[in-house]
Structure 1
Amino acid sequence: MPRDRGRGIGRRARGLVGRIVLDVLALGGLACILLVAASFLLKVSIVMFATGSMSPTIPAGSIAFVREIPASEIAVGDVVTVDRSEEQLLPVTHRVIEIVDASGDAVVFRMQGDDNEQPDPEPYAESSVRLVLWSIPGLANVIVWFQNPFVLGGITIGATALVTWAFWPREQRAATVADAQHAD
């Protein structure tokens, strides 16, 4: 096979791989945009679990997708997330074990973690809660890893290099190579 033809095949293969990588990354970006839009429209968010109070149903290190709903729609057995008092910064996600009063604007209910021996000390009075739709074990650790500044910096540099390579003018590169060959 002539040497120039082999270079052409290699160049086309690299170009095809580059286009495939860019297409996959573009689809990933589109998926992220759609998920952000859906989160605003459907009031869906993500909760990360640092403790094992809901084990084995939702172990520590899991994430859960939650959707905001009126508290009047909850039932005994639902797993919901509520904000705690201002002194306790993190919300709590436990199973509803009793609905004490649903007659007012706020529903009063009791909750308990699946792995806890006792119910939460005080009942909750809420007008809205976040209902757990589903959970994924172990994904919280991956999300925390991606928050590392070195990981974010590496991803940024890699994405910058990929975009620069993808949009670098091809004619200029070919002319530079031709000029270098004629100079020899």
Structure 2
Amino acid sequence: MSIPSTRRDLREQARRSPVLPGDASDDPGIVALEPRRRRRVGRMLGDAALWIAAAAGTVCILLVVLAMTAGITLILFRTGSMSPTIPAGSVAIVQRIPATEVEVGDVVTVDREGELPVTHRVTSVAPGESDAERVLTLRGDANASDDPFPYTVSTVRIVLFSAPGIASVIAALGHPLVLGGLTAGATLLVVWAFWPHAPRRGRPQTRAATRTTEER
């Protein structure tokens, strides 16, 4: 192997030699790529957060539309009277329907004046004083007997389906401080996404390209 004797030979040997992993930090082209990679990762994370916020907003809008048009809402189960079918801490999606459509075996929510609503299974249905009214006897799946008294209703909310274990999350999201924080975070994300960014600069020349230019 010949020993390079001139500056041109030294440059030619350096250009042909592979760059070892330990020498990456000495390459200005590689060093210049690191901030760009960090900016790309930050933008990807920001975009992901925007998509999540957009999805959450879409769900909220959908729930509002369903509540106004189809009478579909959410209810939280704080007790286990409907266990094991609907354990405590569950969230159920319910829809308001006429009492004339209720059948034995349905799980319904009935409103009680001056008290919290009750959600139990229908064990019997009897006619009311009017054609639109029904007298319902209810019982929780975890209870050994029917509720102490029947309920005379013209409408009820029937349980469509339920999801266990997320009532605490839904309740926390409804807290004013949490709502304020989510609103502020979504606002910052939108401002960050639409804030004008500095124009991208051209790619830095690599060491090989620089040496080729010097040799010319």
TM band (smaller chain): 0.7 to 0.9
Superposition TM-score, scaled by structure 1 size? 0.81
Return the alpha-carbon distance in structure 1 between the equivalents of residues 54 and 190 of structure 2: 11
Match of 1:142, as an amino acid? V
Unaligned ranges ≥5, structure 1: 175-184
Deviation digits for residues 110-168 of structure 1 (CA, Å, limit 9, x no counterpart): 11111112211111111111110011111111122223454344434433432332232
What's the counterpart of residue 91 of structure 2? 63
% identical equivalent positions: 49
| 1:39 aligned partner, one-letter code | A
> What code does the residue aligned with 1:8 have?
R
Structure 2 distance, partners of 1:70, 1:148, is: 32
Deviation of 1:10 after TM superposition, in Å, equals: 2.9
* Map 1:112-127 → 2, pairs under 5 A: 112-127=139-154
Does the alignment pair 1:94 with 2:120? yes
Counterpart check, 1:24 vs 2:21: no
Mapped partners of 1:28, 1:144: distance in 2: 16
CA distance in 2 between counterparts of 1:138 and 1:13 reads 34
Unaligned runs of 5+ in 2: 1-26, 201-216
Counterpart residue number, 1:10? 38
Q: How many residues align?
A: 171
Instruction: Provide TM-score, normalisation by structure 2.
Output: 0.70
* CA RMSD between the two structures: 2.3
Whether 2:67 is the aligned partner of 1:33: answer: no
Moved more, 50-59 or 20-29: 20-29
Distance in 1 of aligned mates of 2:114 and 2:38: 62
SS of 1:91's equivalent in the other structure is strand
Q: Secondary structure of 2:120's partner?
A: strand
For residues 50 and 196 of structure 2, the distance between their equivalents in structure 1, rounded to whole angstroms, comes to 16
